[in-house]
C-alpha cells in the first residue's frame, strides 16, 4: 500500500466536492489517506494487555496517550528554548502557550482513571513486573527542558538509543538556563557564575534572578514582552505542577503508600519530587512584587 499523502490544492478540493455532490469520497483505490498520515492502523496494534482484566486497557491506553503528550510538550519547549536563545521573545510565546494547553490535555487524561480502586489495579499490577512510569524517557526529556536535572536518572536507559539522546539532552541548556542568559543580555545584573556553569547540574534559585524578574514586572506596558514571557512560563510551570499533583493523587488512590513497581517507595518519592519547583525565581520573585 502507498504510505504517502498526496498534497492537494483548494481548487482540487472544490472540484472533488462538486463531483461528489457534497458527499465524502468513498473510493481511493489505495490506502485511506487519513491512515497514511495518522498511521491509526499502526497505533491500534500497540495495545497489548498482559491480563484478561478489561480495566487494564484503560491503564494501558492512558499511559500511551501520556507518552504522546510528553513528546508534544517536549517539541514545544524545544522550540521555545531555541527562540529564547536567539533573543526572539515574541515568537517564543506561541510554543509556550501551546505547551500549557497540551499539559491541560495531559492532565485531563488522569480523569479517565478515577474509576480505578486498589482492588482494580491489583488485578493486573503484578504482571507489570518492574515497569514504572518513572522509566519514561520522554517524560525525562520534559523534566530536563524545564530545568529539573538529576544525572543518575538516565542510568535505566543504558544500552538503548534513549540513553544517548538523554545524555545529550542533559548536557544541553534547559529552557530556564536560556531565560537566565536572556535576562543577562538585556542588562540585568546577575551573578557571573550563573552565566557560565555546568548545565547538567540542576539550577538552584538565586536572588539576583528573582530581582531581575521583579524589575521586569514593574513595567506593566503592553510592549513589555519579557513580562509576557514570564507569564507564559508561569502558566507552563503551573500546569506541570498540576500534572505532578494529579500523578501523586492517582498513586495514592490506587495503591496508597505501597512500594512502587520501579523500586522506589512510591508515594513518598513523588512527594519529594514535587518539592523541586520549575522556574523557581518566577515564584520567589512574587513575594517582592
Of the listed ranges 20-24, 216-220, 249-253, 255-259, the least confidently predicted one is 255-259
Question: Under a CB-based contact definition with an 8 Å cutoff, are residues 77 and 141 in contact?
Answer: no
Residue 247 assigned as binding residue = yes
pLDDT band at 241 (very low <50, low <70, confident <90, very high): very high
Number of domains in the chain: 2
Rounded alpha-carbon distances, angstroms, from residue 38 to 44, 46, 59, 69: 11, 14, 22, 15
What is the rounded radius of gyration, in angstroms, for the C-alpha atoms of the chain? 23
One domain for residues 15 and 138:
no
One domain for residues 119 and 199:
yes
Spatial distance between the Cα atoms of 49 and 59, rounded to a whole number of angstroms: 9
One domain for residues 188 and 269:
yes
Percent of the chain with pLDDT over 70: 96
pLDDT tens track for 197-239 = 999 999 999 999 999 999 999 998 989 999 999 999 999 999 9
The parent domain of residue 63 ranges over: 56-287
The CB-side HSE value for 208 (13 A sphere, CA atoms) comes to 13
Spatial distance between the Cα atoms of 46 and 23, rounded to a whole number of angstroms: 33
The Cβ of residue 272 has, within 10 Å, a number of other Cβ atoms equal to: 11
- Residue 68: per-residue pLDDT: 97
Spatial distance between the Cα atoms of 219 and 6, rounded to a whole number of angstroms: 50
Question: Under a CB-based contact definition with an 8 Å cutoff, are residues 147 and 174 in contact?
Answer: yes
Report which of 209, 88, 64 is spatially closest to residue 139, judged by C-alpha positions.
Answer: 64
Establish if 51 belongs to a structural domain. no
- Residue 261: per-residue pLDDT: 64
One domain for residues 38 and 167:
no
Residue 125 assigned as binding residue = yes
* CATH code (residue 219): 1.20.58.480
- Residue 245: per-residue pLDDT: 92
One domain for residues 199 and 263:
yes
Alpha carbon of residue 4 to chain centroid = 29
Say yes or no to pLDDT of 47 above 60. Answer: yes
pLDDT tens track for 89-115 = 999 999 999 999 999 999 999 999 999
- Of residues 27 and 66, the one with the higher pLDDT is 66
One domain for residues 35 and 65:
no
One domain for residues 60 and 34:
no
One domain for residues 159 and 245:
yes
pLDDT tens track for 144-160 = 999 999 999 899 999 89
One domain for residues 155 and 181:
yes
Alpha helices (runs of H) in the chain, residue ranges in sequence order: 10-20, 33-38, 40-43, 56-85, 89-109, 118-122, 137-146, 161-170, 175-185, 207-217, 225-255, 267-274, 280-284
Of the listed ranges 13-17, 54-58, 136-140, 269-273, the least confidently predicted one is 269-273
Question: Integer distance in angstroms from the first to the last C-alpha of the chain?
Answer: 61
For the chain, how long is the longest CA-to-CA vector? 69
Amino acid at each position: 500500500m502507498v504510505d504517502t499523502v498526496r498534497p492537494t490544492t483548494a481548487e482540487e478540493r472544490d472540484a472533488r466536492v462538486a463531483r461528489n455532490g457534497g458527499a465524502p469520497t468513498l473510493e481511493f483505490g489505495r490506502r485511506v489517506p487519513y491512515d497514511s498520515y495518522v498511521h491509526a492502523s499502526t497505533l491500534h496494534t500497540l495495545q497489548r494487555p498482559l491480563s484478561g482484566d478489561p480495566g487494564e486497557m484503560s491503564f494501558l491506553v492512558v499511559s500511551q496517550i501520556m507518552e504522546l503528550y510528553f513528546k508534544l510538550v517536549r517539541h514545544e519547549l524545544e522550540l521555545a528554548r531555541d527562540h529564547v536563545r536567539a533573543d526572539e521573545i515574541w515568537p517564543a510565546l506561541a510554543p509556550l502557550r501551546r505547551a500549557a494547553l497540551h499539559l491541560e490535555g495531559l492532565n485531563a487524561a488522569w480523569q479517565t482513571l478515577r474509576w480505578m480502586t486498589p482492588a482494580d489495579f491489583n488485578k493486573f499490577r503484578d504482571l507489570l513486573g518492574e515497569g514504572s512510569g518513572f522509566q519514561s524517557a520522554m517524560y525525562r526529556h520534559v523534566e530536563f527542558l524545564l530545568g529539573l536535572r538529576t544525572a543518575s536518572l538516565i542510568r535505566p536507559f543504558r544500552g538503548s538509543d534513549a540513553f544517548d539522546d538523554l545524555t545529550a539532552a542533559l548536557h544541553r541548556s534547559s529552557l530556564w538556563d536560556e531565560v537566565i542568559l536572556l535576562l543577562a543580555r538585556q542588562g540585568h545584573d546577575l551573578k557571573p557564575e550563573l552565566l557560565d556553569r555546568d548545565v547538567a547540574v540542576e539550577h538552584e534559585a538565586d536572588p539576583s534572578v528573582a530581582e531581575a524578574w521583579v524589575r521586569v514586572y514593574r513595567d506593566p506596558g503592553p510592549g513589555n514582552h519579557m513580562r509576557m514571557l514570564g507569564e507564559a512560563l508561569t502558566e507552563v510551570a503551573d500546569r506541570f505542577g498540576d500534572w505532578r499533583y494529579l500523578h501523586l493523587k492517582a498513586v495514592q488512590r490506587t495503591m496508597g503508600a505501597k512500594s512502587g513497581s520501579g523500586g522506589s517507595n512510591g508515594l513518598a518519592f513523588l512527594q519529594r519530587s514535587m518539592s523541586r519547583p520549575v522556574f523557581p525565581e518566577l515564584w520567589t520573585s512574587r513575594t517582592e512584587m
